[in-house]
Chain A
């Protein structure tokens, strides 16, 4: 590991932090690659090598994680939550949610409220990352 590699790590972390900060807005690879100061193709490859998953997948599952939280800790409607967390359509949200969580948003909501923890821990530990899961559920 060289100093240059550490700087790359830090820039990629900055791009990942941007996803954690602005998942509710539309975010694209060119924007994130600019934050990381690398080309788009390089960004996707380096991000995956550094954090173990593609940026698209990281963001998709960040959005689902925030939806999990909002479903159980707020009274907002499922449609509002879909757009709050940055999905462009209810159809994509429902399909993605079911694929990752294994049940629909309304079914998940019926599990009831969760104990509040600092958001950074909720975001780090409850994002359905699929690390440690069966590879069959690896999608996107």
Chain B
């Protein structure tokens, strides 16, 4: 029935700052950046993966009333909007070192797990991001 997950969404407080972080620091690329008038439709993707986009959406009018937007902003900055992104990398320790040099905020250092090596970080707004080097599948 369904064939792929093409766009998923997280909230950000500022779309310019989101581009600085997701493109400038994490190395994603802009897929779509279009002013629709009522909103700025901004999506990014991992280079080479244009069919898996992340919509970086700013909460606010006209989609939601100002009071609701305030609630979303409050939850977001508490790390509680549930915005989780899970990326993979061929080399977790190198990715960690690169991001450390760029001043990214971490929630966990690279850790060996049964499924691979992974670490955690936050975006500037409070969304949680995880990066994993997956262990090779058992043959």
B-binding residues in A (CB < 8 A): 1, 5-7, 9-10, 12-14, 16-17, 20-21, 50-51, 116, 118-120
Asked whether A9 lies within 8 Å of B86 as measured between CB atoms, the reply is no
Report A84 CB to chain B, min CB distance, Å: 13
Choice from A1, A7, A13, A119 contacting B79 with Cβ under 8 Å: A13
Q: Report the Cα distance A120→B111, complex, angstroms.
A: 11
Q: Mark B118-138, 1 if CB is under 8 A from A, else 0.
A: 101010111010101000000
Q: Please, which residues of chain A bring their CB within 8 A of the CB of B99?
A: none
Q: Please, which residues of chain B bring their CB within 8 A of the CB of A21?
A: 106-109
Q: Contacts A9-B126, A119-B113 known; A17 to B107 CB distance under 8 Å?
A: yes
Choice from A6, A51, A120 contacting B128 with Cβ under 8 Å: A120
Asked whether A1 lies within 8 Å of B108 as measured between CB atoms, the reply is no
Q: Please, which residues of chain A bring their CB within 8 A of the CB of B70?
A: 1
B94 CB within 8 Å of chain A: no
Q: Please, which residues of chain A bring their CB within 8 A of the CB of B87?
A: none
A-binding residues in B (CB < 8 A): 13, 70-71, 73-74, 77-79, 84, 86, 105-109, 111, 113-115, 118, 120, 122, 124-126, 128, 130, 132
Asked whether B107 lies within 8 Å of A120 as measured between CB atoms, the reply is yes
Asked whether A13 lies within 8 Å of B84 as measured between CB atoms, the reply is no
- Chain B residue with the shortest CB-CB distance to A115: B114
- Chain B residue with the shortest CB-CB distance to A2: B70
Report B6 CB to chain A, min CB distance, Å: 23
Asked whether B107 lies within 8 Å of A116 as measured between CB atoms, the reply is no
Report B68 CB to chain A, min CB distance, Å: 11
- Chain A residue with the shortest CB-CB distance to B120: A120
In this complex, the member of B106, B107, B122 whose beta carbon has the largest number of chain A beta carbons within 10 angstroms is: B107
Q: Contacts A1-B70, A20-B108, A21-B107 known; A116 to B114 CB distance under 8 Å?
A: yes
Q: Contacts A119-B108, A120-B120 known; A13 to B115 CB distance under 8 Å?
A: no
Q: Please, which residues of chain B bring their CB within 8 A of the CB of A14?
A: 105, 122
Q: Report the Cα distance A112→B71, complex, angstroms.
A: 41
Report B60 CB to chain A, min CB distance, Å: 13
Asked whether B79 lies within 8 Å of A118 as measured between CB atoms, the reply is no
Q: Please, which residues of chain A bring their CB within 8 A of the CB of B108?
A: 20-21, 119-120
Q: Please, which residues of chain B bring their CB within 8 A of the CB of A51?
A: 78
Q: Please, which residues of chain A bring their CB within 8 A of the CB of B114?
A: 116
Asked whether A50 lies within 8 Å of B115 as measured between CB atoms, the reply is no
